[in-house]
Amino acid sequence: MAWNALIKEGKGEGLLPLTAPVRRTPYVLAITAFPQSFQDDYARFERRLAGGGRAGGRFGAGGGPKRPLKPKSIATRLFSLRQAASALVIEGIVRPEELTSLRDLVDPIDRAGEILDFYAARTKRETGGQLATVAAALHMVGTHYAELDAASVKQLLKWCNEAGHRKQNGLTPKVRERLRALIQPQYRALLLALPAELMRRARALDPTDIEAARMARVAAILEILLICPMRLHNLRHLRADQHFRRLDPKGQRVTHIVVDGADVKNREPIEWPVPRASAELIETYLHDFRPTLADPRNPYVFPGRRLGAYSDGGLGKALRDTVYADVRVRVHVHLFRHFAAWLHLQRYPGHYEDVRRMLGHRSLQTTINAYIGFETAVAAERFDTVVLQERKAGRAIVAQAWGGKRKPKGSAGKGAQS
């Protein structure tokens, strides 16, 4: 991709474009492989997911979802339907021309079962992954779009639940292990001090040096994640002209980060005050280092190539590599949300509502399920303190009971010489 980009920009005179090798054999048929009536139904379903034809705020009777789905979610649902149709063709259950509408994927209901059996065998898993995604799309079509009979709807729901991701209470073992390392006093102290240290190193260099600018960018990314633990999507798409507010009397420093609820995963808006020290670090990055990284027309705080935002992979790798080099622990962007929850609950045990608001969870139970384990650790430490205090309080009793019966230090009792 980098090679081809050079050619496209006119910097690779005499170079020939490269084609990436095909790493897998495609099996999902293009939508044009199916009859026009199926394509039309597919397009109508797409419009419903996008919020077109809403009636009463729900599916059915020409309605759409309660709220329009995001483009990425729509693309996932549509691809799942193409996967479902392709599975029926691959298994020889139907020919492409026999699928005239989306209803044909779930009526008769056994077709939905054949599709899910195909993906269970293909993925070699009983839940999650493609299986869960395809099952959810079939349930959506059969229940809300094709409006099947009650028995068929019940069967689709059963299959959807069986194929769905098993509910995870608390953090996964891998995430918990990373967090356990990060919260150790030495690593925690180094991480909290790292943004300022990175900015100090960057300022010791020429601001126009690309490595200095990249170092300052990671410093700003880290600082924002530590003071405002937002999700990766919102971090990548921050724009100084839309999401930063400068409400100090002189209007010279960021005082708040504000993101509209429509742009946040759980539709919970972000409105976060920025401490003065953090604001100064962010402003230093924006004014001194960002111009080295960005096309002047690029609107993003953390710019990527041309006019786009910093990529998921690029941002994640820069953060991961930098933290590991200086702190010697492995992190990922979402880990900072868990770290924020841990920090707060250590200082304010039981304040789950604070954490819910801080992380933008809709349900308090979601927060409790994820972080109740943190309270267990605190409770264990308190209990250990109780045990030690009781031992100390009981020394006089022990001395009175055993005072004359203690064995010499290092003695193994009778038979020690044998």
Listed by start position, the domains of the chain span 25-163, 174-330
Entry field: residues in the chain: 418
Residue 256 φ then ψ, to 5°? -145, 150
Q: Provide the Cα torsion 163, 169, 170, 171; round to 10°.
A: -10
Query: Which residue, 96, 63, 78, 318, is CA-closest to 213?
Result: 318
Which pLDDT does position 173 carry in this prediction? 85
Which pLDDT does position 222 carry in this prediction? 98
Q: Is the pLDDT of residue 51 over 90?
A: no
CB-neighbour burial class of residue 387 (10 A; exposed 0-12, middle 13-18, buried 19+): exposed
Cα 177 to chain center, whole Å? 17
Residue 239 φ then ψ, to 5°? -130, 130
Which pLDDT does position 125 carry in this prediction? 73
What is the Cα–Cα distance from 342 to 338, expressed in whole angstroms?
A: 6
**Helices within 56-149 (DSSP H only):** 71-90, 110-123, 129-140
Name the CATH code of domain 174-330 (choices 3.40.50.720, 1.10.443.10, 1.10.3720.10, 1.10.1740.10): 1.10.443.10
Lowest mean pLDDT among 265-274, 355-364, 369-378, 394-403: 369-378
What is the Cα–Cα distance from 100 to 103, expressed in whole angstroms?
A: 8
What is the Cα–Cα distance from 403 to 37, expressed in whole angstroms?
A: 94
Residues with Cβ within 8 Å of residue 232, at least 6 apart in sequence: 312, 315, 316, 333, 334
Percent of the chain past pLDDT 70, that is, above it, reads: 92
Tokens standing for residue 274: 């920025």
Q: Name the residue with tokens 């020939």.
A: 16
In whole numbers, what is the pLDDT of the chain averaged over residues? 88
Residues with Cβ within 8 Å of residue 183, at least 6 apart in sequence: 339, 342
Which pLDDT does position 70 carry in this prediction? 81
| Helices first, then strands: H and E counts in the chain | 18, 3
What is the Cα–Cα distance from 294 to 208, expressed in whole angstroms?
A: 12
Choose from 50-64, 118-132, 374-388 the range with maximum mean pLDDT.
Answer: 118-132
- 410: confidence class by pLDDT, cuts 50, 70, 90: low
Query: Which residue, 177, 380, 211, 357, is CA-closest to 270?
Result: 357
Find the helix or strand (DSSP H, E) in which 121 lies: helix 110-123
Which pLDDT does position 202 carry in this prediction? 97
DSSP states of 331-399 as a string? --TTHHHHHHHHHHHHHSTT-HHHHHHHHT-S-HHHHHHHHHHHHHHHHHHHHHHHHHHHHHHTHHHHH
Which pLDDT does position 399 carry in this prediction? 87
Q: Is the pLDDT of residue 98 over 90?
A: yes
Give the residue-averaged pLDDT of 278-304.
Answer: 95
Which pLDDT does position 87 carry in this prediction? 95
Which pLDDT does position 72 carry in this prediction? 86
What is the Cα–Cα distance from 52 to 237, expressed in whole angstroms?
A: 26
Q: Is the pTM of this model over 0.75?
A: no
Which pLDDT does position 104 carry in this prediction? 95
Q: Name the residue with tokens 């492989």.
A: 33
Look at 316 and 405; give whichever has higher pLDDT. Answer: 316
- 54: confidence class by pLDDT, cuts 50, 70, 90: very low
Give the residue-averaged pLDDT of 239-261.
Answer: 91
What is the Cα–Cα distance from 19 to 1, expressed in whole angstroms?
A: 9
Which pLDDT does position 147 carry in this prediction? 86
- 406: confidence class by pLDDT, cuts 50, 70, 90: low
